[in-house]
Structure 1
Amino acid sequence: MGLFDAIDASGSGLSAERLRMDVTSENLANAETTKGADGQPYRRKEVVLQQAGETASNQPTSFASMLSSMQGAGGAKSVNGVKVSGIVEDSSALKRIYDPGHPDADKDGYVTMPNVNTVTEMTDLISSSRAYEANVTAMQTAKQMFSKTLDLLR
């Protein structure tokens, strides 16, 4: 394991969680958008994350295999963190509400609303915020360890 692998892993986590917070904020901002640029209601988006270091068979390595390979190889294998593999639209059903006075109501008075649940989005926002804080703490701890190590070498 290299000297800065902990900071690299935390940095990739910070970037991923920041994107999750941005996408969640977009979902919340469009929770009532009944007509987008394509004329359809807004669809909830989700960020798909994956391990940055995958094996040749494209299968993620498990924690146990990563730990044993690092112990056996004398720490030669690097830790790569996480990466965003894409942003996907949620394909769950859109909500229909009865509101005949709404400008986007159909002939029966129903409006097709986005599939955004504000409680779910707020929970996701809190989760990604906590993960971001955990990555900041891990990065600060690694920085403190490096500083203490350099102080010992003086």
Structure 2
Amino acid sequence: MDPLVSSLKVAASGLSAQSERLRVVSENMANAQSTGDFPGADPYQRKTITFNAELDRLTGARTVEVSSISNDPSAYRIEYMLGHEAADEFGYVKMPNVNILIEMADMREANRSYEANLQSIKQARELISMTIDLMRNQ
């Protein structure tokens, strides 16, 4: 199969994977303060995303796909918030295991990877266009 088509396939799979990663990070950030509804209830649990390399049999290209989205098993933060609806009898509330700094770093990395894949698609498209122009001029 044509190397340009293969490069488009690889970059498109990267765009899709990073888009899904950005969605997961955004969900984590949006729920960073989401507690349970009653005392002792578990709050929002951070989600993680895992990727897998796949072989596209048609093009022979190695693509990336989301293999799973799962919950982070790390411990919840505990904060003292007397009077909160989810506070226990001592005033402590379980908070989500989301660290905004980690989410921001993940978001930045996913954004840069997305941009790199987008640039690859633009370059491949430009090469295809140049090839068509060369074929017309002959």
**TM-score, scaled relative to structure 1:** 0.80
| Aligned residues with identical type, % of pairs | 41
Superposed CA deviations along residues 14-39 of structure 1, whole A, max 9, x for unmatched, are: 11000000110000010011127xx4
Following TM superposition, by how much is the alpha carbon of 1:101 offset from its aligned partner in structure 2, in angstroms?
A: 2.0
One-letter code aligned to 1:19: E
Q: 1:132 aligns with which of 114, 126, 130?
A: 114
Unaligned 5+ runs, structure 1: 55-75
Following TM superposition, by how much is the alpha carbon of 1:81 offset from its aligned partner in structure 2, in angstroms?
A: 1.1
Q: RMSD of the TM alignment (CA)?
A: 1.7
1:93 is aligned to 2:75: yes
Moved more, 96-105 or 138-147: 96-105
Q: Which residue of 1 aligns with 2:124?
A: 142
Q: Which residue of 1 aligns with 2:92?
A: 110
Cα distance in 2, alignment partners of residues 122 and 101 from structure 1? 31
Cα distance in 2, alignment partners of residues 40 and 106 from structure 1? 12
- Aligned pair in 2 of structure 1 residues 143, 77: CA closer, same or farther (>3 Å)? closer
SS in structure 2 at match of 1:141: helix
- Aligned pair in 2 of structure 1 residues 107, 84: CA closer, same or farther (>3 Å)? same
Q: Which residue of 2 aligns with 1:51?
A: 53
Superposed CA deviations along residues 27-82 of structure 1, whole A, max 9, x for unmatched, are: 0010011127xx4211100110010129xxxxxxxxxxxxxxxxxxxxx9710310
Q: What is the correspondence of 1:70-81 to structure 2 with a 5 Å cutoff? A: 78-81=60-63
Q: Which residue of 2 aligns with 1:61?
A: none
Count of residues in Structure 1 that have an aligned counterpart in Structure 2 = 131
Q: Which residue of 2 aligns with 1:25?
A: 26
